[in-house]
Structure 1
C-alpha cells in the first residue's frame, strides 16, 4: 500500500528458519473452506515457529502463539516478561501449497492496539526461488477502523489503498477478500468492492502462499504506531478462511463469488 514504509525484502524473510522441505512451483488448484471446527489442518498449514523476520519485528514467531478453540483460529501477540527472560511472541500460519488466480476470503476480528499488524496476504519471493510478488490485506491495529491493501510486483509496491470498516474490526467480525485475475485484482469488504488495481498497472504473476499473520514492531512507529505498556496477550481471530480457484464460484454460503454473474 502507498503508506507502507517497509523495504522490498519485508516479507521475503518470512520463511527463514523453517525446516527445508521440497516445494514445487506448480500451484494447488483445489478449493478449500477452512472453518477450524476440527482444529488446524497441519497438512494444509505450516505454523511459523522459532525466528523473526528482521530487526524491525520485535516479536518471535512461536507455535505457542497459535491456538484453535471452538472453531476459531487465534493468532496471539504475547508481550515479553518484565524480567526479559524471552522476547515477545507472535503467531503466523501459512499454506504449504502455492495458490494462483482465484478468490481469497477470510472472516476476521482484530484487537485495537498501536504497534501491531494483523494481515491476510499472499506472498512468494527469493527464499522460495521466485521473484517477490505479494497481495496484501492488512489491519493496522492502531486504527482498526480501516482495511489497507497493496501489491508487490518484483519487489516494488503498487496499487495501495484503504477502505473504512464500520463498525471497526475490534468491535465485530468482518469478511475481507480479494479476487486475483490475470487482468487485475479486486478487493472486497463484507461483500462490497472497495478497491481495484489501476488499468495497465503491474500485477503479480507467480503462484503464492497464503499467510495469516500477527506481528509487532518497535521501530516502524510512523506506520504502525508505538506500542504502549499492557498486561496479557492480544488475539487476532480468524473465524474461517477460503480459497476459490478462478473459474469456480459459490462453493460455500456467503462467498463473495456467489454474487458473480
Structure 2
C-alpha cells in the first residue's frame, strides 16, 4: 500500500461475483493509511492491439470513478502506457476518455452520452492500433485519437476494471466523495479480441435498448 498514492486501498471482499455480473464496491473504510477502499479486477496476462469491450453500468455519486482500461508501468519493466474508459459519478451523462504514452497523458476528453450511464447498461469499447485509438458507445464511434494529437501507446498492458475514489488532489476532477457508502458499479461482460482474430466478444450477445 502506497500512502501517497491517489488510489484507495484495494480490497478483494469489495468484488462481488453475482449470477450475471461482477459488482465492484467502494466504501469509506480505513485500511492502513487509506480512508477509502475500492475494488479492482484484472484479467490474467497482457493484451495488445485489438478491440476491447465492456458491458457495464457505472457507479453513481460524486467522488466515484468507474473504469475499464489497459495499463502497464515500471513494475513490469515498461513505460507507463494506458488507455482509459472512465465514468465520473458526478457527471453521469458523460464518458471520460484519456490515454498515457510513456507516462505522458493525452488529457481529459469528455463525450456527451445523451443518457444517464448510471441508470442504464450499455456497451463501451475501444479499438487500439499502432497508429490510432477509436472509442465506441453501443458500436457508435465517438472519438478517434491519432499521433498528430498525442503519441499512441505501444506497450502491451493488463486489462482492468475498477471502482475507486481518490484523495483531495482528485476532488477537482471527480468531485468531493459524497457518494452513498457501498455504492457499486456493475460489469456484465468484459472481452478482448486481438487484431486480425475472430474471437467472440461482448457485442455478439449485447443489444442496447432503444
For 1:163-182, what per-residue CA distance to the aligned partner results, in whole angstroms no more than 9, with x for missing partners? 12232111101111000011
Output the TM-score relative to the length of structure 2.
Answer: 0.87
* Rounded Cα–Cα distance in structure 1 between residues aligned with 2:73 and 2:165: 22
SS of 2:173's equivalent in the other structure is: helix
Partner of 1:121: 69
SS of 1:217's equivalent in the other structure is: coil
Instruction: Give the alignment's Cα RMSD to 1 decimal.
Output: 2.3
For 1:82-140, what per-residue CA distance to the aligned partner results, in whole angstroms no more than 9, with x for missing partners? xx9x8432100112200010000000102221111110000111011111111011101
* Rounded Cα–Cα distance in structure 2 between residues aligned with 1:125 and 1:238: 25
* Rounded Cα–Cα distance in structure 1 between residues aligned with 2:129 and 2:146: 13
Q: Structure 2: where are the runs of 5+ without partners?
A: 206-210
| Cα distance, 1:250–1:95 mapped onto 2, change above 3 Å | closer
Is 2:101 the counterpart of 1:153? yes
Partner of 1:241: 190
The structure with higher relative contact order (CA 8 Å, sep 6+) is: 2
Partner of 2:41: 93
User: 1:251 offset after TM fit, Å?
Assistant: 2.3
Conserved in 2, the CA contact under 8 Å of 1:105 and 1:243? yes
* Rounded Cα–Cα distance in structure 1 between residues aligned with 2:100 and 2:107: 9
Greater radius of gyration (CA): 1
From 221, 224, 232, the equivalent of 2:171 is: 221
Runs of 4 or more consecutive aligned structure 1 residues displaced over 6 Å after TM superposition: none
Partner of 2:144: 196
From 40, 49, 57, the equivalent of 1:109 is: 57
Q: Structure 1: where are the runs of 5+ without partners?
A: 1-50, 257-261
Q: Return 246-255 or 120-129, whichever deviates more.
A: 246-255
Give aligned pairs, total.
201
| Cα distance, 1:52–1:60 mapped onto 2, change above 3 Å | farther
* Rounded Cα–Cα distance in structure 1 between residues aligned with 2:158 and 2:177: 29
Partner of 2:110: 162
SS of 2:6's equivalent in the other structure is: coil
Conserved in 1, the CA contact under 8 Å of 2:131 and 2:146? no
Partner of 1:62: 11
User: 1:66 offset after TM fit, Å?
Assistant: 0.4
Q: Which has the higher strand share?
A: 2
User: 1:252 offset after TM fit, Å?
Assistant: 4.1
From 22, 27, 30, the equivalent of 1:73 is: 22
